[in-house]
A and B are shown apart, each in its own frame.
Chain A
């Protein structure tokens, strides 16, 4: 399956700009981005509910851009599931096969088989309204998978579930995907969900695909500031390149320190000539907090908040230039010196910092400011 320079415009508004990527068989592929970034539009173009304004959609090598949804061999699990309320669970699941004029005896076997895959064999005669959210979710999965589609499209399927159920369903989805062995195209705005399940993730922002890569690539080597901020929590420290050579880049930070970054930790295509505006990204878990300056680079700041989270302790601190930074230290570490108002030095392993082009809109941690977090949802 491929999108070939597919663009979708509604009037003046470009919902998707030149989406150009392929999805291979048996892959768990996520489209990740804040709401309104165009990820659902891409899904609708693959399903056939929308036609690309320019460009093509290819499934199995055939151009299906103008083929209606009921003639495409892909199925969708809709947001809020869209189960047929007037039919039993079994009839919901049998809906697709019956439309394919498959003999009723075979339909029954396939429905029973698929209901046991999603562990709902005992609920065949119930109505959707009599099921819990997680069960409805699995009926929606069975209803799509029973058609043996070449790919399954999932539109924020877990958004309506509780946190704990969501986590369990993530594992379940991954298990089902491995069992049936087809490509899953998963749309979500929840980066944790995407990281947990995906083989590859396409991060989108404002209609553009910012980066496509494995969860580790996207987390460790984000291509743009947007990706760095959107995936996980990051401390984005603006600075200017002091000097650079083939081995390392030295950046003087606005927060008042100089950081040496190995050349391998520079984003592809980033301008690191002397004087260039760059951002150094350090993940909260990469910070090492200590009371006195350790050897190597560190930044000095003062603690504003200490939050005990069980397995870990979350620190929020303010650097010399007023930016807020966040750090996560192990819960069993000695943190007695960390009191609000106390000075702290954040160091890191030499290969931890990562350099990106440009300056962020707001310096510091991406997950401590409510407005900023909300804007990214």
Chain B
């Protein structure tokens, strides 16, 4: 095989420029920057670029096609993200800096109103704190439950591996909402779980530990965290399983051959090699759990409101779009920073 054909930087820059232009055009149309005749003009310009691209691909030689093919593959993704991610994000950013003239002003105008952010951070600090606390505890719990599970399936599952993984996922074919409501029944005051705990006299110690509240489980923080843990468990188990399953069992043999005990081999070889799975699983659990509002609504009480509930409330009941947008942005930024710090801490880029 000879060297691959040299690709100059120029078509790259041109291609990316064209794709960015198309993306910006989509955002402009989607977010309503432009309206009336200008919108038609932008749409016509974008169509022209697309037609030109197709024409260049069909009419041009192999070289041209080879140069534009990658951007052709990117096109659906860029257009999709532009329309359904960048445009809403932009709209939300604009909205978060707008202000309502009155309670019934449904189309707030853009005024660089930063007070939405200060309100989001002060009025809703407890909700933010609870969200990250609950999501954090739920993430740790999913690791504690999911790791041994994924380990057992990956290393001891044998031929049953795929069946076992299937069994872990099967309950999740039922709707999220129905499963959460079912938890409500299970944890209800006269439900089986509370009755069982009372029968074995565990309710006393659990009350004392603050896990139960006056003999109740439903509508306590425990129920909310339990619901989050249960609902997001597969998102921890699947990436963990994938990273554990890739580990060559001979590495464990090698560690033991080199004087590691079984526990030492796990700590020095298996655990570090599975960290990418722990990282991926933590993201998949923590991020949606921090923004979740279903568990707090059905399993919690007014004192366990999470930020997701507050955002929902501001959007749908208070109709305070600017404040709700600012809260969403704060949530997004905190999560992004947390994820960055976490990835630094785990040093995942350094792992194979």
Contacts and interface: CB of A to CB of B under 8 A. Distances in A.
A244 B253 CA distance: 55
Contacts of A49: 253, 256-257
Interface residues of B, number: 20
A129 interface: yes
Given A70-B261, A99-B264, A82 B251 contact: yes
B49 interface: no
B259 A78 contact: no
A99 B253 contact: no
Contacts of B253: 49, 69, 76, 78, 82
Contact of B259 (A47, A82, A100): A100
A30 interface: no
A84 B351 contact: no
A95 B255 contact: yes
A68 B256 contact: yes
A22 interface: no
A71 B256 CA distance: 9
B272 interface: yes
A147 B272 CA distance: 23
A96 interface: yes
B254 A86 contact: no
B256 A69 contact: yes
B260 interface: yes
A328 B264 CA distance: 56
Contacts of A76: 253-254, 257
B290 to A, nearest CB: 30
B3 interface: no
Contact of B260 (A99, A143, A144): A99
Nearest to B254: A82
Nearest to A127: B352
B250 A75 contact: no
Interface in B264-320: 264, 268-269, 272-273
Given A78-B253, A82-B248, A99 B258 contact: yes
Nearest to A73: B259
B352 A85 contact: yes
B257 A70 contact: yes
Nearest to B251: A82
Interface string A59-92: 0000000001111000110111011111000000
A70 B269 contact: no
B259 A99 contact: yes
Contacts of A147: 258-259
Contacts of A143: 258
B256 A70 contact: yes
Contact of B258 (A86, A95, A127, A129): A95
Interface in B17-44: none
Given A78-B250, A127-B352, A129-B352, A84 B257 contact: no
Nearest to A99: B259
Given A78-B250, A80-B250, A99-B264, A86 B257 contact: no
B241 to A, nearest CB: 19
Interface in A310-333: none
A84 B252 CA distance: 9
A49 B249 CA distance: 12
Given A85-B273, A127-B352, A47 B257 contact: yes
A76 B258 CA distance: 8
15 contacts: A48-B257, A49-B257, A69-B253, A69-B257, A70-B256, A80-B248, A82-B250, A82-B253, A85-B251, A86-B269, A86-B350, A86-B351, A95-B258, A99-B258, A144-B258
Interface of B: 248, 250-251, 253-261, 264, 268-269, 272-273, 350-352
Given A47-B257, A84-B255, 5 more contacts: A78-B257, A96-B258, A99-B259, A143-B258, A147-B258
